[in-house]
Structure formats: structure tokens, C-alpha cells
Amino acid sequence: MSGKQPALSVRTRVRRRIRRRIDALPKPLSLRVRRLWLSAVPITQCAVAAGLAWWIAVVLLDHDRPFFAPIAAVVSLGLSLAKRWRRSVELVSGVTVGILAGDLVISWIGSGTWQIMVVIAIAMSIAVFLDEGPLLPMQAASSAALVATLLPPGDSAGIERAVDALIGGVVGILVVALMPVNPALRSTRDAAGVLGTIRDAATDLAAGLRAQDVDTVSDVLARARGTQGAINTMRADMAGGREISTISPLYWSSRQRLQRIAATADPIDNSVRNFRVVARRALAMTQAGEQLRPEIIEIIGDLSGAYEILREMMLAPPGGEPDEADAARVLRTIARKARTDLVTDSPMSETAILAQLRSLIVDLLMVAGLRRSSARATLRD
């Protein structure tokens, strides 16, 4: 690697200092403080959007108790970055469907127990017919129930509720555009967390295989299987980051970078899945008393360094080091070791592990920016 590392910004230095202090806390407290720290901006967005939506409905439109405006703003935002635009559209559409269906049906059949059943069934049926999302039917049902129980058919309060929902949804999107979460920061942090977990797991798996330690190998498999929640969060935040770069003018210039970050979601996920298969096969061999070839164990150990440089690459600032080329060089060195002639006379289990490792290396090369065809070509003997 060459060239100087770019100077860290004041914000980055402060963030790292805070992170170190959080990490220094007792682990149960550290996890909770970190969760709060990561949610600070979305919480602020929800609070600002709720207050602003209420103010618009009360002061500008003179609505009486527009409770649904702040509710709609909070629901459309939530703490998740993903699909905020879709949540806003679903919420406003659901409220509108529920009010219209409730208004029409209750005006015709009157109100009562069985009428509530009928109007909710009709509102939810229309919503399900229009869209497969879960939010739209729920909002349609709650709005229809409100019309059937509290709001007289044809009353202006029903229309005001739909307007309040629209206000909340629009305000939520505006807040995202003007007070956005850094879309790259959260995505790369998620990815780095997953890569760091498998980095440590690869180190332990190699050690467990050398020692023929069933407990260690079993623990590695359990840890690898436990990453799915973190992977799902990573995928959601990457999708949310791309959405923010579309909505917010502040991040329009970052669209290409966010597309590259989002493109790593599939290969990271696939590499973890392949690692789980390697760990599961390795556990079966260890339990059976079979010894894996030392050269293959060495490749597994080397993967720890590969995951680490990819983790550092994800956390590096734009233009910083290590970059994709640095990571690809490390991975090509490992790829040269993963030769098919290592298992020419090996049993099926050992051959299967090497094949899985080769597939995993292809995934990691794709995380480093290579196309699948180029990554596969790297492994040709």
C-alpha cells in the first residue's frame, strides 16, 4: 500500500472517541448504550417530524386534535432506514381506503357489531387487493373501525384524518431529506460487524481443526449461524442508504458509492453461508475423528486476514486505505493456495470443504469489487 492516509475529520475523531468509551463500559450496559447511540438520529427525526406534523395540522389547517398527523409521521419513519418512502405511501393509502370504505358502507348499512365486522373486512380486502404490504391493510382496518365507531358517516373529521395522514407522511419524507442519517456510515458499520464476526470465527475454526477440538468447532458453527440477524440488518440499512441518497439532496453526490456498498450485500451474505457449510462439514469430520489436510486448515486460517482487510476496507473513508485493490491482492494470494490438486486423493468430505472454500473466496473477491466472472477466473488452476 502506498500514499498517505487522509486526515480524519473532527467528526470522525469524536465518533471514534465516543465509541471507545462505550466499548469500555460493562458489556450489558455497552450493548444498550450502543443501541441507543445508533438510534439517536432516527429518534430525533421521529420527534421533529411528529412535532412539525402536529403544528402544520393545528396552526396552518386548523384541524381539531389532529392526533393522526404525528402518528403518521412516526410510523412512516420508524427506526429502520429501509422502505421509508414505501411506509409513507402505504400509510396514507391505507387511511384513505379505510375512511372511504367506512364512510360508504356505514352510510348504507348503519353502525353496530356486525356492521363493524363487514366494514373492516371490506376495507382490508380492498387494501390487500391493491398492495401486498402489511401496513396498508392494518391502516385501512383501523381507519374503517374509526369511522364505524367514532366518526359519523360523511363527517369532515374523516376527511381531516386522511389529510392528517398525508401531512404526517409528507413531513416524514421531508425530515429524511433535510435531516438524513449518514447512509454510508450505518451500512459500512453493519458490514464491518458481520465481517469481523466471521474473521474471528475463521481464526477459531483453524485452531479447533488443528487441535481436533469438537467443542471449539461446534462453537464456531453456532456463532456463524447466529449472524443472520446482523446480515438482515445490514441488508435493510444498505437498502435504506440507497433510498436516502435518492430522497436527500445532501447525498445525491454519494449515489455511486452507496450503490457500490449495496452491491456487497449479496457476496457478504453468500460468503457467510459458505462459511457455515465449511464449519458444519468440519464439525462432522472432527466428530468422526478425521483430520483435515494441513494445507486446507491454513487456507481457513488465512481467511481471517481476508475478512479483516475487507472489514477495514468497508470502514475506510472515501479514497482511504485499504481499498478494493488492497483487499483483492490479499484474496488472490489465498486463491493461489486453494488448488484443486490438494484433494486429488482425498475423501469426499475434504474435497467438499475445499470446493466450499473456493466458492467462499469468489464471494470475497466480489466484495473486493471484482465481477463474478473475474473472481471465478482467479481460481482457475
pLDDT computed for residue 297 by the predictor = 93
Which residue is it, cell 391493510? 137
Average pLDDT over residues 358-362: 94
Cβ atoms < 10 Å from Cβ of 225: 12
Which stretch of 41-55, 70-84, 109-123, 336-350 has the lowest confidence by average pLDDT? Answer: 70-84
Per-residue pLDDT for 226 more than 70?
Answer: yes
Per-residue pLDDT for 7 more than 70?
Answer: no
Q: How confident is the model at residue 323 (pLDDT cuts 50, 70, 90)?
A: confident
Reported as a single tens digit per residue, the pLDDT across 282-292 is 999 999 888 88
* Residue 107 neighbours by CB under 8 Å, 6+ apart: 153, 154
By residue count, the chain amounts to: 381
Hey, what's the cell of 76?
412512516
145 close to 120: Cβ distance less than 8 angstroms: yes
Average pLDDT over residues 20-49: 77
pLDDT computed for residue 5 by the predictor = 44
Most confidently modeled range among 72-86, 124-138, 329-343: 329-343
Higher pLDDT, 138 or 227: 227
172 close to 295: Cβ distance less than 8 angstroms: no
Q: Which domains does the chain have, with CATH numbers?
A: 41-178 (no CATH), 183-378 (1.20.58.220)
Per-residue pLDDT for 373 more than 60?
Answer: yes
- CA distance to 187, 194, 195, 360, per residue, from 230 (Å): 11, 7, 10, 19
Reported as a single tens digit per residue, the pLDDT across 250-269 is 666 667 777 888 888 899 99
- CA distance to 128, 201, 265, 291, 326, per residue, from 368 (Å): 42, 20, 12, 32, 9
Most confidently modeled range among 45-49, 143-147, 183-187, 223-227: 223-227
Higher pLDDT, 53 or 36: 53
Most confidently modeled range among 31-45, 109-123, 290-304: 290-304
Most confidently modeled range among 141-155, 164-178, 183-197: 183-197
Average pLDDT over residues 214-241: 88
Reported as a single tens digit per residue, the pLDDT across 152-161 is 555 556 677 7
Average pLDDT over residues 21-35: 74
CA distance 167 to 319: 41
Average pLDDT over residues 29-34: 76
Higher pLDDT, 276 or 78: 276
* Residue 238 neighbours by CB under 8 Å, 6+ apart: 187, 190, 191, 258, 261, 262, 264, 265
CA distance 276 to 226: 10
pLDDT computed for residue 350 by the predictor = 87
Percentage of residues in the chain with pLDDT exceeding 70?
Answer: 84
pLDDT computed for residue 67 by the predictor = 78
Q: How confident is the model at residue 181 (pLDDT cuts 50, 70, 90)?
A: low
Burial of 347 (0-12, 13-18, 19+ CB in 10 A): exposed
Tell me the pLDDT of the chain averaged across its residues: 82
pLDDT computed for residue 2 by the predictor = 41
DSSP 235-267: HHHHHHHHHHHHH-GGGGGGHHHHHHHHTTHHH
Per-residue pLDDT for 36 more than 60?
Answer: yes
Per-residue pLDDT for 54 more than 80?
Answer: yes
Average pLDDT over residues 372-378: 87
Percentage of residues in the chain with pLDDT exceeding 90?
Answer: 28
Higher pLDDT, 68 or 234: 234
Q: What are phi and psi of 41, to 5 degrees?
A: -70, -45
